[in-house]
């Protein structure tokens, strides 16, 4: 490997050839401010915040400037500092400065840089300001170009990571905007509602469709039985909103906070995950033994499902017919549990706390109403729950740990790892192995399907059968995997796909972290650790051993994939157009 030596602010540093000045400075312990830069995703030098002095006639953007031998770089001269301040002032001159009411207040990279660089005169460049209509017609995502700074991070993640490309730069000069082609609204495009664009936006130009007012109204309606269920990945990230280190599980505090908010019952979507494994493992074995469509593809990610329905409709027969865990649990709450409690199902309202903005879209699908009522009435993200907790004046960090409510709150270690890429696959294999062999699986960890790689493959011995499996996370990696199946290059029995990179732990509704934090650690791996820790600590780690799931089948469903199970726990899919007429 060829190494290059250069000097940055008087510090000599040696880095591989091809390294950018920005990366070299980081190695030397020098932080250069950025806005448009996003490691491995958006390195285009558009915002110019990262300019440095190299002795050239003009300052240069360090994020795209490769190092050269004996280069001398200065990152903190008066000229550099003044250039950065002017850039911020120019951005602010066409930026809606309603910071107090912005969802990103105090977690805004533009706001933070203004404070850091001492920019306090927001009227330095007075003149025209563009005004745009807020696009809030999507069930999941709100676009507000009045706050957009044209960094193109959202464009990069949509194009380069998710490989969807429904947004891009439009028009030129002062009239430049980011959005769908032909001034379409987001809901008129093939957007899959994944929310990855929200996660990478440095300001408040993108946010989730807020459902907290609807949930508050439900909680105030004493004629309703309002039940809440949080997804596995929520407990791996909610603590970040209250200052806990990334990767710290906060399951007990999560349950306690939900109870303080006034929910009548606090159940755990992990129960629904265990139920999903019972249905899905049975479906997989039936397909393998009886000539069903293979490979079977798991269907827990609504962003991925919509992507498949839109871009790969030929794979719809391959999709598992199982609903996602929170939809299954919603159906059981409104049937089995409501009957047990003597409640009218019309008076039972289910709120799901999800790491995913696409779940808001999923909850509105007409196919997901197994009882004649929507399986889930409202979906809020991890971020929305954090806002509700703060609004209620609950001191999250002082809450004592509490358990979920009985019957639909019990779960296994297999369920909690659903939030990490490969987790659904691993959970299914734990059950499938014991169902097929009749033997006890001593080592339940399937390390071959763990990790944050975009595509993972493995062959797992299940009795006398070699089961070929694959795991993909992000729709960009999903397309790569499906193309290899279509061409005949790859053959699998079972495929797990998550719509977001790294799975639900990195979902579009999770706490937003800055580009700096993203560059310093892999948030996918850090949050996944919390789930694997909880899995290791669970007394039961296989879904089919969950005693309450067994009771549900004995008392109500009969057996996995029974007629009643299909009525309540399974669904259908539709081919979708890429653009609305």
**CA distance linking residue 153 with residue 149, whole number of Å:** 10
In angstroms, the CA 348 to CA 224 distance is 6
Residue 117 to residues 31, 90, 96, 112, 141: CA-CA distances in angstroms?
Answer: 13, 14, 20, 9, 31
pLDDT tens digits, 480-536:
999 999 999 999 999 999 999 999 999 999 999 999 999 999 999 999 999 999 999
Place of tokens 């190092």: 67
CA distance 268 to 232: 8
pLDDT in tens, 370-380: 899 999 999 99
Average pLDDT over residues 110-121: 92
Q: Which of 349, 359, 360, 456 is catalytic?
A: 359
pLDDT digits (tens, 9 = 90+) for 430-454: 999 999 999 999 999 999 999 999 9
Q: Which of 320, 335, 479, 543 is catalytic?
A: 320
Whether 283 is catalytic = yes
Mean pLDDT for the chain? 96
What is the predicted pLDDT for the residue at 477?
98
Q: Which of 240, 279, 280, 327 is catalytic?
A: 280
**Which pLDDT score, from 0 to 100, does residue 537 have?**
96
Tens digits of residue pLDDT in 126-146: 778 899 999 999 999 999 999
47 is catalytic: no
Digit-coded pLDDT (tens) for 196-218: 999 999 999 999 999 999 999 99
Catalytic residue selected from 89, 188, 264, 367? 367
pTM, full prediction = 0.96
- Other beta carbons within 10 angstroms of residue 339's beta carbon come to 11
Tell me 322's DSSP state: B
The domain 213-569: what is its CATH number?
3.40.50.1780
Domain ranges in the chain are: 3-76, 213-569
CA distances from 213 to 217, 311, 391, 394 (A): 6, 34, 12, 18
User: 435-466 burial, b for 16+ CB within 10 Å, e for fewer?
Assistant: bbeeeebeebbbebbbbbebbbbbebebeeee
pLDDT of 74 > 70? The answer is: yes
Residue 495's alpha-carbon distances to 139, 288, 461, 478, in angstroms, are 28, 13, 16, 10
Select which of 148, 191, 322, 504 is catalytic. 504
pLDDT at 174 over 80: yes
| Separation CA 309–CA 1 (nearest Å) | 45
Q: In this structure, what token pair is assigned to residue 572?
A: 């259908």
| pLDDT (0 to 100) of residue 464 | 87
Reported confidence tier of residue 21, pLDDT bands at 50, 70, 90: very high
CATH code: domain 3-76 is: 3.10.20.740
Selected catalytic residue, list 309, 329, 362, 384: 362
Check pLDDT > 70 for residue 581: no
Q: 381 forms bridges with which residues in the sheet? A: 354
Q: Kindly report, residue by residue over 226-256, the tens digit of the pLDDT.
A: 999 999 999 999 999 999 999 999 999 999 9
End-to-end CA distance of the chain: 54
Q: How far is CA 233 from CA 259, 507, 524, in A?
A: 19, 9, 11
Q: How far is it, in rounded angstroms, from Cα 563 to Cα 184?
A: 43
Q: Which two tokens stand for residue 55?
A: 């002795």
- 576 burial type by CB count under 10 A (0-12 exposed, 13-18 middle, 19+ buried): middle
Annotated catalytic residue, options 99, 151, 197, 300: 300
Tokens in use for 58? Answer: 């003009």
Res. 122 pLDDT band, cuts 50 70 90: low
Cα–Cα distance between 44 and 34 in angstroms, integer?
11
The answer to whether residue 300 is catalytic is yes
- At 277-335, the pLDDT tens digits run 999 999 999 999 999 999 999 978 999 999 999 999 999 999 999 999 999 999 999 99
362 is catalytic: yes
| Nearest residue to 283 (alpha-carbon basis) of 570, 516, 488 | 570
Please report the pLDDT score of residue 304 as a whole number.
Answer: 97
Encode 52-85 in three state secondary structure.
EECCCCCCEECCCCECCCCCEEECCCHHHHHHHH
Active site residue 367: yes
Would you state the pLDDT for residue 370?
87
Alpha helices in 290-397 (DSSP H): 302-311, 325-332, 338-341, 358-363, 382-391
Query: Does 373 qualify as catalytic in the annotation?
Result: no
Q: What CA–CA distance (Å, rounded) separates 363 from 74?
A: 53
**Distance in angstroms (rounded) separating the CA atoms of residues 183 and 232:** 37
């Amino acid at each position: 490997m060829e190494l290059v030596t250069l000097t940055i602010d008087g510090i000599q540093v040696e880095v591989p050839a091809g390294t950018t000045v920005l990366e070299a400075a980081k190695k030397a312990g020098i932080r250069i401010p950025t806005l448009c830069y996003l490691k491995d995703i958006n390195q285009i030098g558009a915002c110019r915040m990262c300019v440095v002095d190299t002795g050239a006639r003009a300052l240069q953007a360090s994020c795209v400037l490769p190092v050269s031998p004996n280069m001398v770089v200065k990152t903190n001269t008066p000229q550099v500092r003044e250039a950065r301040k002017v850039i911020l002032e120019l951005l602010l001159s066409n930026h809606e400065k309603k910071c107090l009411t912005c969802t990103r207040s105090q977690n805004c990279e533009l706001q933070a840089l203004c404070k850091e660089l001492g920019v306090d005169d927001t009227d330095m460049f007075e003149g025209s300001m563009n005004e745009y209509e807020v696009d809030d017609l999507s069930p999941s995502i709100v676009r507000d170009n009045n706050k957009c700074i044209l960094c193109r991070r959202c464009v990069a993640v949509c194009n380069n990571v998710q490989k969807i490309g429904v947004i891009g730069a439009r028009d030129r000069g002062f009239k430049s905007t980011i959005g769908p082609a032909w001034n379409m609204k987001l809901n008129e495009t093939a957007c899959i509602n994944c929310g990855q664009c929200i996660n990478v936006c440095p300001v408040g130009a993108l946010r989730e469709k807020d459902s907290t007012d609807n949930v508050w109204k439900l909680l105030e309606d004493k004629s309703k039985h309002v039940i809440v269920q949080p997804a596995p990945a929520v407990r791996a990230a909610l603590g970040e909103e209250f200052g806990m280190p990334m990767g710290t599980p906060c399951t007990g505090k999560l349950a306690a906070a939900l109870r303080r908010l006034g929910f009548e019952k606090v159940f755990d979507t992990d129960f629904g995950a265990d139920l999903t494994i019972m249905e899905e493992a049975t479906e997989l074995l039936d397909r393998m033994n009886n000539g069903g469509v293979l490979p079977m593809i798991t269907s827990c990610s609504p962003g991925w499902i919509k992507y498949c329905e839109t871009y790969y409709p030929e794979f719809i027969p391959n999709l598992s017919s199982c609903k996602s865990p929170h939809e299954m649990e919603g159906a059981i709450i409104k049937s089995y549990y409501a009957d047990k409690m003597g409640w009218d199902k019309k008076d039972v309202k289910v709120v799901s706390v999800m790491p995913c903005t696409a779940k808001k879209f999923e909850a509105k699908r007409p196919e997901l109403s197994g009882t004649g009522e929507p399986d889930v009435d409202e979906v809020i993200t991890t971020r929305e729950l954090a806002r509700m907790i703060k609004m209620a004046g609950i001191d999250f960090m002082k809450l004592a740990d509490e358990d979920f409510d009985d019957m639909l709150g019990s779960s296994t270690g297999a369920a909690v790892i659903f939030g990490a890429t490969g987790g659904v696959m691993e959970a299914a294999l734990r059950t499938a192995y014991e169902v097929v062999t009749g033997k006890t699986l001593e080592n339940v960890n399937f390390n071959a399907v763990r990790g944050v790689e975009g595509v993972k493959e493995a062959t797992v011995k299940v009795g006398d059968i070699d089961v070929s499996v694959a795991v993909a996370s992000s729709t960009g990696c999903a397309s790569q995997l499906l193309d290899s199946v279509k061409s005949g290059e790859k053959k699998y029995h079972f495929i797990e796909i998550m719509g977001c990179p790294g799975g639900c732990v990195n979902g579009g509704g999770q706490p937003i972290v800055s580009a700096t934090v993203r560059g310093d650690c892999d948030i996918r791996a850090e949050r996944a650790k919390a789930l694997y820790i909880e899995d290791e600590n669970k007394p039961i780690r296989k879904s089919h051993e969950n005693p309450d799931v067994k009771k549900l089948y004995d008392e109500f469903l009969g057996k996995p994939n029974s007629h009643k199970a299909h009525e309540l726990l399974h669904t259908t899919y539709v081919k979708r157009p890429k653009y609305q007429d």
